Structure 1
Amino acid sequence: METAKTVPFFLLSFFILCFLALFSHAAIFDSITQGQLIRDDDRVVSHGLNFELGFFSSQDSRRRYVGIWDDVPGRSVIWVANRENPIEDTEGALTISKDGNLVILDGKNYTVWSSNLSISIPRNKSSKAILRDNGNLILSSISNSRKLWQSFDHPTDTFLPGMILLVNETKGEVRPFVSWKSADDPSPGNYTMGLDPRAALQIVIWEGSKRRWRSGYWDGRIFTGVNMTSSYLYGFRLNVNEDQTRYLTYNPLNSSEKVRFQIGWDGTQRKIIWEEGERKWLTVESEPYNECDMYNKCGNFGVCSLSSSPTCTCLKGFEPKDWDQWQKGNWSGGCKRKTPLKNEIEASNGTDKNVGEDGFLMMKGLKLPDFVNLVASSISGIDVATENCENHCVSHSNCTAYAYVNGIGCMIWHVELVDIYQFENGGNMLFIRLAASELGSSSKKTMVVIIVAVMAGVICLGLCVWLACILQRKRKGGNNEDVPMFVTNKSRGSSVDVSGSTEFSLEATNQLSGPEFPFFNFHCIAIATNNFSEENKLGQGGFGPVYKGKLRGGEEIAVKRLSRCSGQGLEEFKNEMVLIAKLQHRNLVRLLGCSTHEEEKLLVYEYLPNKSLDCYLFDPDEQKKLDWKKRCEIIEGIARGILYLHRDSRLRIIHRDLKASNILLDENMNPKISDFGLARIFGGNQNEANTNRVVGTYGYMAPEYAMEGLFSVKSDVYSFGVLLLEIVSGRKNTSFRDKDGSSLIRHAWHLWNEERGMELVDPTIRDQAPRRKALRWIQIGVLCGQDRAGDRPSMSNVVLMLESETMVLPSTKQPLLICMSSSEDKNVHMEEPLDVSSNGLTCSMTLGR
């Protein structure tokens, strides 16, 4: 018996000793001494176990590199020594040579890389290398601990907290960060990142010798050309040494946070943080983020705006250099002045007394142009505020624009204005120099002419309105065939026919104030829809039927005829027109016009041949047309459309009625959000509102909205979560009423929590759907459908979750609150707070165990 007990103990001791021997061979803590060889299978580990130094290979390659990586799962390499000269076998070694340099030797003892110390170490002295917990490899003298060399001074593609980037205006651009050649090849790639210290400091990404992206100017707090809400802007600091040299550093607001910036092989700069709870690295910021971030997207004197259509426009007073290319969507040629400046006219033709003085056009919310010149902090002892800055620009004939920014001062541009981005929020003010005629007030004589013209126009308009009233009375009961077809907006390029039109906005404009809208003639809309016949009916919305129509010119339209008993009165009608007319996005339906006649109210949309999403999603025969890839595109398109409404549009808009029947599909099956009759505009600082009129559709309503009338952007997030799960499952929310949780969200949570999430995926696409992505999207849908609004992500985070497969998703809570209709989902709109026992609505609270 004693022998039997001794054997296991002996074996255990033997294995422990073998493990310790192996570990002692593989791991070398903290430092390298002179003459010590770090072989291919050895590792140097920092004192706090944060980083490791050793040999590594990229995927499917035998080439060996010496690098530093973080000591976490997934190993992210942050520094590479011999990236231009790899070793082709595993016989290499890292050591400190006799002259004190760090060197990498191949199997034949040839030096393939060296630290190349500028100061040699005496023979009787020695040096030592230490790997610090911040990822810095430091070579120092043992005798006096003087720092001789450090890896932070020779970075590869990663910027870490604690690194110092020297700023030297005389030396110009500095590009210390060079991307990998590919995701698996650490040799130098096509992209570099660094600082442009000329005038005001900014971070720049280059593709070869060309600029790809820039951060905008440093104002002492942030880089002004990046989204003002980006958290990663805070933490940078520009410091000054005793010798007046400047350097840039970054330290996270939370000192315990693990963070790094990296220029990827694809030319994208990313901020990556370590999520301790999930034990993963998470990308939280990336630049360039959108098409307007791409350097000089719209050419010189062009402005890029995500909320405009097209994306690129010319500054006021400028026009495209090449109209043909501009209309084709090639904006790189930029714009030119329509009218030359006064000094340009004088230089070519001499003095012209009829030419007024140049002036300045103010534009707000901009990423200021590149290649600025700074004016000294004072002129003749006076601080250079905005007024003095303007005077300075006027005094220089080649000045094209100026700006005054706190923290920077007076900024002057003497060149063409390059890389301008119109922000929705934040940004700076720019004053652009224009000819007097472009500003509309060149002289008193011009003002007199304008006043006279305006007065004449007012008189003519009054006469037209008077005549229109008379004609309208005479035409009532007349022949519909003689009524002109429509009146459209000139900006759409359509013809305008108002002759004899009795319906042209006379009634409507008295009731609807605000921007100009294209008004169609009601009788012609009736003709176009075959008098709203059943065969032209496309469907039935919550506020009335929708009909297909065809105008005289052959253009197909969709007409929403508001039901008189629908609950959508003039206020909702006006609301929908105002909203959609101001919205421009590829994933929002386009409003062509409207029409009113007595109690009739019509909205005229672009016709989308593939109808609405529910026609395909819930039809067993049609849903086969929606494969996994197309469903992903639809989900992402809807998410981008909602994000535009919540964050990127001119107005902050809550839709309040997102559902499959309100998602229309164009000829390419691209989604477009429609039906804005219930939408609400929020103020800039408004996050939540309350209503005693609960409107929307059962099954898609957020609990706080259905129960308390509280709605916010998170209400739309909830509806999106339901919609996402419907698209993935191919089933209506109400079809899960008899399941374990009485709602699609609850059913999805149970399957996902029990690792049976693939059972939710539509069987027609289950074999196509990548398991990891499908489960991830189900989790996103459940996250969006959390009971508490505070537990739901914002749409900006949702879009990031959908687009990034590496971003760590928050944990989900079991849905407890269920609010479902006892019959099919239907629209509701009530003047009183919602009664949980009325209108066929049943609500229950499921308590956790």
Structure 2
Amino acid sequence: MNKICKSPVEVFLLSFCFLACLFVCFCHAANTLEKGQSIKDGGDALISTNEIFKLGFFSPEDSNLRYVGIWYNKIELITPVWVANRDTPISNGNGTLTIDKDGNLVVLEGNNTPVWSSNASIESNNTVAMLSNDGNLVLSSSGDIGNTEKAYWQSFDNPTDTFLPGMRIKFNSRIGKIRPYTSWKSASDPSPGNYSMGVDPEGAPQMVMWEQLKRRWRSGQWDSQIFTGVPFMAARTNFIYGFKLSTPDANGSMYFSYNQINPSDLLRFHLTWDGFQKQLKWDESNKNWAQMEMEPLNDCEVYNFCGNFGVCKVNSSPECSCMEGFVPKDGDQWNMRNWSGGCVRRIELQCRRNTSEAGLSDGADGFKDFDGMKLPDFDTVVSLGKSETCKEICLQNCSCNAYADVEGIGCMIWVGDLIDVQNFDDGGNTLHIRLAHAELGSSRELSNAAIISIAVVGSFFVVLSLWLLWRFRGKLRTMRKVPLSSCCYSKTDDTPIMDVSKNEEFSTDLSGPADIIMDVSEVNGADLPMFNFNSISIATNNFSEENKLGQGGFGPVYRGKLPGEQEIAVKRLSNKSLQGLEEFKNEVILIAKLQHRNLVRLLGCCIQGEERLLVYEYMPNKSLDSFLFDPARQALLDWKKRFVIIEGIARGLLYLHRDSRLRIIHRDLKASNILLDQEMNPKISDFGMARMFGGNQHEANTIKVVGTYGYMSPEYAMEGLFSVKSDVYSFGVLLLEIASGKRCTSFRFSEFNNLVGYAWALWKEGRTMELVDPSIQDSCSQSQVLRCIHVGMLCVQDSTMYRPNMANVVLMLESQTPTLETPRQPTFASTRNSVDVARSMGTHDTMDISLSEGKDTWASM
């Protein structure tokens, strides 16, 4: 047997290699935790390879409780950037961090009771946890150590109160607001506190801080380079801020990230327990954290400090002022420096006034430019066509109060109040605020010379007009007998569309009842054309059956075509209709004064002999119920279209209730009274039962209850009491119908009695998705449809006190408020039979619920 001898040099080299391997293994173990290993309280820890971050057990300042966390390794003052068991601290020093048998990270108390788990879905239990150089604790399979793309779980996706460079804040507009960062409860208590922070993706995305459910601060919209509402960014003194926004992935998700300019700097963004977001940098020379930025830095950065339509300016005295064209809502409180009430318009916009108010402004609405602004919250980003401008888009929407065209974002409009606006000394964007014509500078800032010239010219024309009136007084007596000053003639013949009988009194040609002639003649001041009966007969092919669109309580509805190829829908009052005359008068007087994109447009009317006709724009897609309740057509209304319809109806009602000069209650809102244009945009129709309130009037009582079973609110059906909240109830029923695809009365003979009862039963049991129309369940946004149903349940509460108004409904639908109020159980069944209603009213004479449950006049339009 040969004996192998080794020299001392060989022995040394072998020993060195062995020790080196052991050293490598030791270093690798220092930043990883494998299955079967554990980190015990008392000194064990993981340390990142670059030795910047450390993971182990710690106690906050002034506390003896123990937590697992990550902090900076070489900074003597423990500065936690992540905490695992923040809700469940360990009261003794016997805690352990290890990998459980299912592959998850767990924190155990001394008796091996789990107090925290990563709780990830893991395919293989052969997992390894690694503390990476950027402070991210990554749990992955042993073959993918540190690979964040294949990680089962990572601390960067489950942050606490600190944002580090390298983190990603993911968001998706379909999901809504995301609030991943939550402050500590106090300086010594890591449990979740009152403040949270994240991304609001509605409109242009922005960072938002919330105090519980209320906004406290926001960064302003991201314009692809900066957050436009952060003052030092808005000044644009340096474009390298580190924040980046990714492009959308296949699911539409994006994320914000931050890459620091100098990788050697220790930098963090900290949401403090008392509600501030601080950007901090470690100052090695002074051994402390230097504050680079803090939000909110002053009162003007506190969310909506000056109230709606108010503007805040730092170093101004006072800080708050109303936007030009607006005045304080409560002057006394404003003078006491309580600005929370905000401001209101001094002169209403032209499109929101009735024609009787037209004299308040001599021209159309316009825009005034305000530079250096932090743009308002709750914007809507609009895609423009080739020939469209942002200004035109805003002008077409009566609810639009302002617009901005921002590079990197595009066209932004604001359809609600202008909220949280600040005026910067440097930077900012230009905000174009919509004002009445009288508020625009050109009409308010006239020189003395211009005023004198206008006065002289005006006086001349007054004198000239008086002389002309005296000179031609004889001819004027004849002209006063003519109801309209001009006629519209057909291009193909001389038949007048709007007939003016020569030398005859108004009531002679229009031989209806005297009261309706008087009412309609008053509306003529609103430029409502009076159509000639013969022209309507020609347009509808003599009211032929093939042109008939439908039949309702008012009478038949016909499709027609005027000489200019304009299609119309004609309501013809039936001689057998008991309510038609009153409805006719009401609709002509009301709808002629209304202008809104979500209200059907009345083109004119005709009163000749016994004939009474209303002429409307033609809606090619007929009424909502023709799609919603037809099994063969339901699928054509996907959830996206349904939500657009819901929003449009809500905005139309908001206009009726708030934005028109006189508050208007529709009283018969239902699916068959919602018409759909060529693009499936909704338009509210049939104002025959509507009532008009004065500016300070909020409710009224009637002994004549009119409406449709299933849609009537309890207080209206039982007591004849109606208000804007009556329409809110009807809207809630309609919203539930749109979401479910079921008629409100289709449950009459079931245990639930109506749709509201059925919806409540599912809501109470947590099975709300079962209410959703099966044809859209797989394609709808679950969070959005659940929010809509939630809003619907709030609207159908028994008490008017608990129902929201339409302004709040629109806000809840569009702003994605994190948490809505819990609805109360609706107990009243509005589908009771007529005998029940009569008894509740006390007498049969007081009840006039005369419309059928089937389709009314508009049902087939």
Q: Shorter-chain-normalised TM-score: which range?
A: 0.5 to 0.7
How far is the alpha carbon of 1:574 from its aligned partner? Answer: 3.3
Alignment partner of 1:549 out of 542, 548, 560: 560
**What letter corresponds to residue 322 of structure 2 in structure 1?**
F
How far is the alpha carbon of 1:523 from its aligned partner? Answer: 2.4
How far is the alpha carbon of 1:584 from its aligned partner? Answer: 1.4
Which residue is 1:36 aligned to? 76
Which residue is 2:446 aligned to? 433
Instruction: Determine if the alignment matches structure 1 residue 223 to structure 2 residue 223.
Output: no
8 Å contact kept, 1:221–1:237: no
How far is the alpha carbon of 1:201 from its aligned partner? Answer: 9.7
Structure 1 range deviating more: 766-775 or 552-561: 766-775
Alignment partner of 2:183 out of 70, 82, 88: 70
8 Å contact kept, 1:646–1:653: yes
Instruction: Determine if the alignment matches structure 1 residue 421 to structure 2 residue 434.
Output: yes
Which residue is 2:477 aligned to? 462
8 Å contact kept, 2:708–2:849: no
How far is the alpha carbon of 1:54 from its aligned partner? Answer: 6.5
Which residue is 1:163 aligned to? 298
Which residue is 2:253 aligned to? none
CA distance in 1, matches of 2:713, 2:391: 41
CA distance in 2, matches of 1:682, 1:612: 28
**What letter corresponds to residue 398 of structure 2 in structure 1?**
S
CA-to-partner distance for each residue in 1:247-293, whole Å, 9 max, x for gaps?
A: xx99999xxxxxxxxxxxxx9867xxxxxxxxxxxxxx6368999xx
Which residue is 1:522 aligned to? 533
TM, length-normalised to structure 2: 0.55
Alignment of 1:257-272 (within 5 A): none
CA distance in 2, matches of 1:739, 1:691: 32
Structure whose CA Rg is larger: 2
Structure 1 range deviating more: 218-227 or 455-464: 218-227
CA distance in 1, matches of 2:663, 2:712: 19
CA-to-partner distance for each residue in 1:77-134, whole Å, 9 max, x for gaps?
A: 85999994699xxxxxxxxxxxxxxxx999999335599xxxxxxxxxxxxx996624
Alignment partner of 2:587 out of 568, 576, 580: 576
8 Å contact kept, 2:320–2:339: no
CA distance in 2, matches of 1:755, 1:622: 29
CA distance in 1, matches of 2:453, 2:842: 52
Instruction: Determine if the alignment matches structure 1 residue 154 to structure 2 residue 293.
Output: yes
CA distance in 2, matches of 1:86, 1:619: 50
Aligned-pair identity (%): 42
* 3-state SS in 2 of match to 1:777: helix
8 Å contact kept, 2:181–2:271: no
Which residue is 1:743 aligned to? 754
* 3-state SS in 1 of match to 2:551: strand
* 3-state SS in 1 of match to 2:612: strand
CA distance in 2, matches of 1:511, 1:818: 38
**What letter corresponds to residue 670 of structure 1 in structure 2?**
N
CA distance in 1, matches of 2:474, 2:753: 65
Alignment of 1:55-454 (within 5 A): 55=164, 58-59=167-168, 70-71=183-184, 72=192, 75-76=197-198, 84=241, 110-111=264-265, 133-135=274-276, 151=291, 154-155=293-294, 159-160=295-296, 163-164=298-299, 202-203=311-312, 223-224=322-323, 286=378, 298=391, 307=398, 419-422=432-435, 431-433=444-446, 435=450, 442=457, 444-454=459-469
How far is the alpha carbon of 1:568 from its aligned partner? Answer: 3.7
8 Å contact kept, 1:586–1:672: yes
CA distance in 2, matches of 1:30, 1:45: 18
Structure 1 range deviating more: 767-776 or 681-690: 767-776
CA distance in 2, matches of 1:37, 1:105: 25
Alignment partner of 1:729 out of 723, 735, 740: 740
Which residue is 1:782 aligned to? 793
Instruction: Determine if the alignment matches structure 1 residue 627 to structure 2 residue 718.
Output: no
* 3-state SS in 2 of match to 1:701: coil
8 Å contact kept, 2:382–2:411: no
Change (3 A) 1:641 1:20: farther
How far is the alpha carbon of 1:714 from its aligned partner? Answer: 0.7
CA-to-partner distance for each residue in 1:594-637, whole Å, 9 max, x for gaps?
A: 11113322111011111111112112222232122211111111
Which residue is 2:678 aligned to? 667
**What letter corresponds to residue 617 of structure 1 in structure 2?**
L
How far is the alpha carbon of 1:426 from its aligned partner? Answer: 12
Change (3 A) 1:424 1:732: farther
8 Å contact kept, 1:692–1:833: no
How far is the alpha carbon of 1:752 from its aligned partner? Answer: 1.9
**What letter corresponds to residue 795 of structure 1 in structure 2?**
M
TM, length-normalised to structure 1: 0.56
How far is the alpha carbon of 1:737 from its aligned partner? Answer: 1.0
How far is the alpha carbon of 1:641 from its aligned partner? Answer: 1.0
CA distance in 2, matches of 1:759, 1:45: 36
CA-to-partner distance for each residue in 1:232-257, whole Å, 9 max, x for gaps?
A: x999997xxxxxxxxxx99999xxxx
**What letter corresponds to residue 659 of structure 2 in structure 1?**
D
CA distance in 2, matches of 1:428, 1:444: 25
CA distance in 2, matches of 1:468, 1:106: 76
CA-to-partner distance for each residue in 1:659-678, whole Å, 9 max, x for gaps?
A: 11111111111111111111
Please, which runs of 5 or more residues in structure 1 have no aligned partner?
1-14, 62-66, 88-103, 116-128, 140-147, 166-175, 178-192, 205-214, 239-248, 254-266, 271-284, 314-329, 333-364, 372-416, 470-480, 488-496, 843-849
Which residue is 1:809 aligned to? 820
CA distance in 2, matches of 1:130, 1:622: 51
Structure 1 range deviating more: 555-564 or 604-613: 555-564
**What letter corresponds to residue 681 of structure 1 in structure 2?**
M
CA-to-partner distance for each residue in 1:144-187, whole Å, 9 max, x for gaps?
A: xxxx9985x833xxx54x8356xxxxxxxxxx89xxxxxxxxxx
Instruction: Determine if the alignment matches structure 1 residue 697 to structure 2 residue 796.
Output: no
How far is the alpha carbon of 1:583 from its aligned partner? Answer: 1.5
**What letter corresponds to residue 422 of structure 1 in structure 2?**
L
CA distance in 2, matches of 1:237, 1:21: 59
CA-to-partner distance for each residue in 1:513-555, whole Å, 9 max, x for gaps?
A: 2434211012221232233232222112332221111223322
CA distance in 1, matches of 2:621, 2:260: 65
CA distance in 2, matches of 1:498, 1:838: 39
Change (3 A) 1:149 1:75: closer
How far is the alpha carbon of 1:45 from its aligned partner? Answer: 14
CA distance in 2, matches of 1:520, 1:837: 32
CA distance in 2, matches of 1:654, 1:107: 60
How far is the alpha carbon of 1:227 from its aligned partner? Answer: 8.2
CA distance in 2, matches of 1:38, 1:194: 36
CA-to-partner distance for each residue in 1:571-596, whole Å, 9 max, x for gaps?
A: 54333223222211111111111111
Please, which runs of 5 or more residues in structure 2 have no aligned partner?
1-37, 46-54, 64-70, 90-159, 171-179, 185-191, 199-206, 210-218, 220-229, 234-239, 245-257, 281-287, 343-372, 384-388, 404-409, 424-429, 485-491, 511-515, 854-861
8 Å contact kept, 2:325–2:435: no
CA distance in 1, matches of 2:79, 2:440: 53
* 3-state SS in 1 of match to 2:648: helix
Change (3 A) 1:55 1:366: closer
Alignment of 1:753-832 (within 5 A): 753-822=764-833
Root-mean-square deviation (CA, aligned residues, Å) is: 6.2
CA distance in 2, matches of 1:554, 1:837: 41
Structure 1 range deviating more: 755-764 or 455-464: 455-464
State the structure with bigger RCO (CA 8 A, min sep 6), 1 or 2.
Answer: 2
How far is the alpha carbon of 1:757 from its aligned partner? Answer: 1.8
Which residue is 2:151 aligned to? none
8 Å contact kept, 2:550–2:557: yes
